[in-house]
Amino acid sequence: MAYTYLIAKKYLWTKRKTGFISVIAYISIAGVALGTAALIITLCIVSGFEREMRLKFISFDAHVRLKIFEGMGLMHDRDAYTARIRRMNHVSGVSPYIEKEAMIRSKRATDGVIVKGIDQTTVDQVLNIRKDVIASCGPSPINLVKPTDSASALPGILIGKKLADKLTVSLGDKVTLFSLKNTLAFVEQPRVRQFTVTGVYRSGLAEYDNVMVYVDIAEAQKLFDYHNAINGFEIKLDNLDEASDVADSLMAAFGYPHYARTWFDLHRNLFSWLETNNLLMMIIFSLIIMVAAFNIIGTLFMIVIEKTKDIGILKSMGVPERGIRRIFMFEGLLIGVIGSGCGALL
């Protein structure tokens, strides 16, 4: 009924000098507004953080990786592998790579790193490293191939900003990588390769910026004595949601000792933490909503107590109890809607 809304509006916006309940109503609206604003801001921050983390990891990791279990051999005919992988559904890019632990040394420091050998001709099909390169030598952000115009020139290496700071190196400085063969012979000399720092990147992800260095795949083969072999392929898909199905197809096609991992598998700990964080956010949001609801209910109780005489007058005029209930329901609705609207505008 129209009169129920008009009476509810009058009770809420009364101009009486003794309108203590109106002050309480305003406080209730402010509480709902602040709760709504906190809810929206937190949701935006959490969803934005999660989206940014996904984009960062996808930039530095392919949608799917195909590898061979450690100690079970290497992949030798990469052209045949590439052809088979490309024939699979949803595959839009394939690039071979080598990834292995090593030591890096500059003039001032030594540190452990993960060396990743990439094929510059195909890496852009699966990764987006270039956008995070903040300093580089040459016309391209990634310059890893050894120059052919100088016999004394060294191949290039791309390192993270945090690692560069720890090693105290910058563009043009020389660093040395050390790697041991897969053997138990302690007397064996490490394999050593020198590189020139030709690029520095900053991903914002500590697990990359602190430890990951990129070299040309041919140089990685020499460093780890892989000859013409590799130990994995990175694969990009036309639909990220198909990653699990494509990984299963790769496992079925290549079999043991090959295995496939999706981008989610590679960073399961992070996304498990994000899921736990989302659950905590939902609990907090529920508490905020409950506080706002109790705030409105408490305000309505106080209004009912103050308007006892008015309720008696309305009953004497023939207003049914359902109509009286509707008056206060409208008032609670107005407090909730106005508070939520103000919170959204904040």
Determine, yes or no, domain membership for 75.
Answer: yes
Q: Is the domain of 112 the same as that of 186?
A: yes
Determine, yes or no, domain membership for 283.
Answer: yes
Helices (H), 168-228: 206-209, 217-223
Residue 221 — pLDDT band, cuts 50, 70, 90?
very high
Residue 234 has pLDDT above 80, yes or no: yes
- Evaluate whether 74 touches 230 at the Cβ level (below 8 Å): yes
Provide the token pair at 206: 């500590």
DSSP strand pairing (110-118 vs 212-216) = parallel
Determine, yes or no, domain membership for 187.
Answer: yes
Determine, yes or no, domain membership for 77.
Answer: yes
Q: Is the domain of 205 the same as that of 174?
A: yes
Choice between 91 and 13, residue whose per-residue pLDDT is larger: 91
Residue 304 — pLDDT band, cuts 50, 70, 90?
confident
Domain stops at, among 266, 292, 320 = 266
What's the pLDDT at 1? 53
140-192: pLDDT as tens digits:
888 888 765 565 688 999 999 999 999 999 998 999 999 866 555 555 677 89
In angstroms, what CA-CA distances link 317 with 12, 126, 322, 324, 326?
21, 77, 14, 12, 16
Choice between 328 and 188, residue whose per-residue pLDDT is larger: 328
Structural domain containing residue 278: 2-53+272-345
Determine, yes or no, domain membership for 119.
Answer: yes
Q: Is the domain of 231 the same as that of 277?
A: no
Cα(346)–Cα(342) distance, integer angstroms: 6
Whole-number average pLDDT of the chain: 81
For residue 64, how many other CB atoms are within 10 A of its CB?
31
Determine, yes or no, domain membership for 10.
Answer: yes
What integer is the mean pLDDT of 113-135? 89
Q: Is the domain of 231 the same as that of 280?
A: no
Choice between 136 and 322, residue whose per-residue pLDDT is larger: 136
Helix (H, G, I), strand (E, B) or coil at 148: coil
Q: Is the domain of 109 the same as that of 176?
A: yes
Helix (H, G, I), strand (E, B) or coil at 110: strand
Q: Is the domain of 90 the same as that of 122?
A: yes
Q: Is the domain of 87 the same as that of 220?
A: yes
What's the pLDDT at 18? 47
Q: Is the domain of 106 the same as that of 244?
A: yes
What's the pLDDT at 114? 92
Q: Is the domain of 213 the same as that of 135?
A: yes
- Evaluate whether 53 touches 249 at the Cβ level (below 8 Å): no
Residue 334 has pLDDT above 80, yes or no: no
Domain stops at, among 228, 247, 266 = 266
Helix (H, G, I), strand (E, B) or coil at 134: strand
Residue 78 has pLDDT above 90, yes or no: no
Determine, yes or no, domain membership for 58.
Answer: no
51-77: pLDDT as tens digits:
777 777 777 788 999 998 877 778 888
Q: Is the domain of 74 the same as that of 211?
A: yes
φ and ψ of 110, to 5 deg: -135, 145
Choice between 5 and 345, residue whose per-residue pLDDT is larger: 345
* Widest Cα–Cα separation across the chain: 106
- Evaluate whether 41 touches 323 at the Cβ level (below 8 Å): no
Provide the token pair at 222: 């020499």
Angle, helices 20-60/2-12, rounded to nearest 10 degrees: 90
| C-alpha angle 32-33-37 in degrees, rounded to nearest 5 | 115
What's the pLDDT at 17? 44
What's the pLDDT at 165? 92
What integer is the mean pLDDT of 30-51? 79
Token pair 């706002």 in the structure block, residue = 292
247-297: pLDDT as tens digits:
999 999 988 889 999 888 877 777 777 777 778 777 877 787 787 788 778
Token pair 């790193």 in the structure block, residue = 113
Domain stops at, among 266, 297, 319 = 266
Determine, yes or no, domain membership for 8.
Answer: yes
Amino acid at 277: N
- Evaluate whether 86 touches 94 at the Cβ level (below 8 Å): yes
Q: Is the domain of 258 the same as that of 278?
A: no
Whole-number CA gyration radius for the chain: 32
| C-alpha angle 235-237-241 in degrees, rounded to nearest 5 | 125
What integer is the mean pLDDT of 13-22? 55
Q: Is the domain of 260 the same as that of 278?
A: no
Q: How many distinct structural domains can be found in the chain?
A: 2
What's the pLDDT at 21? 56
